[in-house]
């Protein structure tokens, strides 16, 4: 068997693993990366990027459909049609450009990429079943585990046939007539809304009493209103029981014990993801675990010396930018730099319609930490840019300490607010006070003005409300 040696061995070429490898390469650390599937991982191939491409496609199609009828903009369109095979090719092209780019960046930085499935033998040795069939043994000084996550399955609704995960729901080349989504979280709502906009009859079954249960009611209210307006049927406090005998419907049970059937030619199960801890010999390391995730400290060290874990494998929040930041940090520590992972805010964006953003603490999180806070909102109904884009729903909310006025959190809901996440995170990480944000000149007319105005409003002197 061929044996190779390296300083850093990364298992997994998702955003955590590939960023770690690129940064290690930049710093001159001899690095190898093993990927069993496609470079780019879940994020680039079956997650963030294809889902956002599908959402864009759906938005464009819905816009075209809207213009077939009377509309205040006076635009007329006749009979829009959607060629899904062509659209999927476009989406795959976007993915291909990005995954190709990752391969090029790894090469440019001297990272040796091995295509194949890795099995951990011990904390310094990994065996790879290469694509070519030749087994390869790699010995390393540092082992970085970045194997990501997999969808949670419902035992009574296993994936297969008409029951699909997000991976298949992103790749459909034929529109289902009735799509039932189980789980009104990130995936369920992002994809449910997209397919509804493409003309599919969509019903959502959610066990909790509300959609996106991790966000507060004020934030999800505009999303709920939009789901209703789009014609998505919501079944809250309801669980999925299984398929009907003929497989053409989903049996669901509401909290008052009533069972009913929803017609379904596709059922998307989106009830969460779990760290990928099985199938690659992880158990041989006997690492300390934190629930289903590998336990890590603030440097992403596991309980075994020089074995590191990042990204979804290391638990919540399972977000690509958190995986990337951890990967970059581990590479720098391996290269001898002093680093620790202590962000004040990891922004989260839900690409529903309207979009949601949270960064830092919500009012209730701040209160739970014993902070006395000022909370202020600025509505998009008073923002010129939002009105000129027909996007008056939603608001920006700021949370700041009462004593120092230091901003500790932001939340927003509205059209296009994902792009405000950078401003939110800068303000928190740079320790901005309400006066700092309020005193900065924001370009007019932009949604960003609502950021400034929410800070001014917290200080008691908003200008446009
Ligand atoms: P992954 O991206 O899962 O990569 C792990 C890689 O490791 C995979 O390529 C896998 O093949 C490989 N691997 C695993 N085991 C082995 C082995 N033994 N040998 C070789 N290779 C192995 N996050 C956001 O921040 N924003 C979004 O908009 C967003 N949208 C999403 C939409 C969907 C539909 C889904 C499913 C997820 C989305 N996410 C989003 C979450 C995001 O994709 C993940 O948080 C992110 O990909 C985690 O990165 P990672 O590097 O930890 O793992
Ligand atoms: P999620 O945790 O966001 O939502 C799962 C939902 O399913 C919850 O609302 C939960 O109450 C519900 N649920 C659980 N069991 C149920 C059952 N038996 N019947 C009915 N409802 C049930 O999970 P997800 O949507 O699968 O997404 C997984 C992860 O992927 C997210 O947590 C996030 O980390 C990541 N993601 C992020 C983005 C983004 O950043 N925009 C987009 C997609 C996915």
**Per-residue model confidence as pLDDT tens for the chain (465 residues):** 899 999 999 999 999 999 999 999 999 999 999 999 999 999 999 999 999 999 999 999 999 999 999 999 999 999 999 999 999 999 999 999 999 999 999 999 999 999 999 999 999 999 999 878 889 999 999 999 999 999 999 999 999 999 999 999 999 999 999 999 999 999 999 999 999 999 999 999 999 999 999 999 999 999 999 999 999 999 999 999 999 999 999 999 999 888 999 999 999 999 999 999 999 999 999 999 999 999 999 999 999 999 999 999 999 999 999 999 999 999 999 999 999 999 999 999 999 999 999 999 999 999 999 999 999 999 999 999 999 999 899 999 999 999 999 999 999 999 999 999 999 999 999 999 999 999 999 999 999 999 999 999 999 999 999
Name the residue of 46, 52, 185, 234 whose CB sits within 8 Å of the most ligand 2 atoms, as the mutation to test its pocket: 185
- For domain 163-271, the CATH class is alpha beta
Q: Token pair of 370, please? A: 């014993």
User: Which secondary-structure segment (H or E) carries 9?
Assistant: strand 2-11
What pLDDT is stored for residue 108 in this prediction?
A: 98
CB under 8 Å to 89, separation ≥6 — which residues? none
Q: Report the pocket of ligand 2 as residue ranges, CB < 6 Å.
A: 154, 182-188, 190, 205-208, 213, 239-240, 270-273, 317-319, 348-351
Kindly report the pTM of this predicted structure.
0.97
Query: In this structure, what are the phi and psi dihedrals at residue 405, rounded to the nearest 5 degrees?
Result: 70, 10
DSSP states of 18-55 as a string?
A: HHHHHHHHHTT--EEEEESS-TTHHHHHHSHHHHHHHH
Q: Which atom of ligand 2 is nearest to the CA of 211?
A: 9
**348-458 has which fold?**
Enolase-like; domain 1 (3.30.390)
Query: What residues are annotated to the active site?
Result: 444
Q: Which ligand does the CA of 167 lie closest to? A: 1
What pLDDT is stored for residue 246 in this prediction?
A: 93
**Taking the domain 2-151+275-334, which CATH number applies?**
3.50.50.60
Query: Are the beta carbons of 434 and 459 closer than 8 angstroms?
Result: yes
137 CA to centre of ligand 1 in angstroms? 25
Report the distance separating Cα 365 and Cα 384, nearest Å: 31
Report the distance separating Cα 47 and Cα 53, nearest Å: 10
Every domain range in the chain assigned CATH 3.30.390.30: 348-458
Q: Would you give the end-to-end CA distance of the chain in angstroms?
A: 72
Q: Which ligand does the CA of 45 lie closest to? A: 1
Which residue has a Cα nearest atom 46 of ligand 1? 320
Query: In this structure, what are the phi and psi dihedrals at residue 192, rounded to the nearest 5 degrees?
Result: -60, -45
Query: String of b and e for 345-355 (b: at least 16 CB within 10 Å)?
Result: bbbbbbbbbbb
* E strands in 183-258: 201-205, 233-235, 238-243, 249-254
DSSP states of 379-406 as a string?
A: EGGG-HHHHHTT----EEEEEEETTT-B
User: Which secondary-structure segment (H or E) carries 200?
Assistant: none
Every domain range in the chain assigned CATH 3.50.50.60: 2-151+275-334, 163-271
Which residue has a Cα nearest atom 18 of ligand 2? 239
What pLDDT is stored for residue 102 in this prediction?
A: 98
Query: Are the beta carbons of 380 and 447 closer than 8 angstroms?
Result: yes
What pLDDT is stored for residue 133 in this prediction?
A: 81
What pLDDT is stored for residue 152 in this prediction?
A: 97
Residues recorded for the chain: 465
């Amino acid at each position: 068997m061929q044996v190779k040696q390296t300083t850093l061995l990364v298992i997994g070429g998702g955003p955590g693993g590939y960023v770690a490898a690129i940064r290690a390469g930049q710093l001159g650390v001899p690095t190898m990366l093993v990927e069993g599937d496609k470079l780019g991982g879940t994020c680039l191939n079956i997650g963030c990027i294809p889902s956002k491409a599908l959402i864009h496609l759906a938005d464009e199609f819905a816009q075209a459909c809207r213009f077939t009828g009377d509309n205040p903009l006076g635009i007329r369109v006749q009979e829009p049609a959607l060629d899904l095979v062509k659209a999927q090719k476009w989406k795959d092209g976007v993915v291909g450009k990005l995954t190709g780019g990752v391969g090029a960046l790894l090469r440019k930085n001297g990272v040796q990429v091995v295509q194949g499935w890795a099995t951990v033998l011990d904390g310094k040795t990994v065996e790879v079943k290469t694509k070519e069939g030749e087994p390869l043994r790699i010995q390393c000084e540092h082992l970085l585990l970045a194997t990501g996550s997999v969808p949670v399955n419902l035992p009574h609704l296993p994936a297969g046939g008409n029951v699909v995960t997000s991976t298949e729901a992103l790749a459909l080349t034929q529109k289902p007539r009735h799509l039932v989504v189980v789980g009104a979280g990130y995936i369920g709502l992002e994809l449910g809304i997209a397919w509804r906009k493409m003309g599919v009859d969509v019903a959502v079954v959610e066990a909790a009493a509300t959609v996106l249960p991790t966000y507060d009611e004020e934030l999800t209210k505009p999303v709920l209103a939009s789901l209703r307006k789009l014609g998505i049927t919501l079944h809250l406090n309801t669980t999925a029981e299984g398929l009907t005998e003929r497989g053409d419907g989903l049996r669901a049970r509401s909290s008052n014990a009533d069972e009913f059937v929803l017609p379904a030619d596709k059922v998307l199960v989106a009830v969460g993801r779990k760290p990928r801890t099985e199938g690659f010999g992880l158990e041989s390391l006997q690492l300390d675990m934190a629930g289903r995730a590998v336990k890590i400290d603030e440097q992403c060290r596991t309980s075994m010396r020089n074995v590191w874990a990042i990204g979804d494998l290391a638990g919540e929040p399972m977000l690509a930018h958190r995986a990337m930041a951890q990967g970059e940090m581990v590479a720098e520590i391996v290269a001898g730099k002093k680093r620790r992972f202590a962000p004040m805010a990891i922004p989260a964006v839900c690409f529903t319609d309207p979009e949601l953003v949270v960064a830092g603490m919500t009012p209730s999180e701040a209160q739970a930490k014993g902070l006395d806070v000022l909370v202020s909102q600025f509505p998009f109904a008073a923002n010129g840019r939002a009105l000129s884009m027909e996007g008056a729903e939603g608001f920006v909310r700021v949370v700041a300490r009462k004593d120092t006025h230091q901003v500790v959190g932001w939340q927003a809901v509205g059209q296009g607010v994902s792009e405000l996440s950078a401003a939110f995170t800068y303000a928190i990480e740079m320790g901005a006070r309400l006066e700092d944000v309020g005193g900065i000149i924001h370009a007019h007319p932009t949604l960003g003005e609502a950021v400034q105005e929410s800070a001014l409003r917290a200080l008691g002197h908003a200008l446009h409300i």
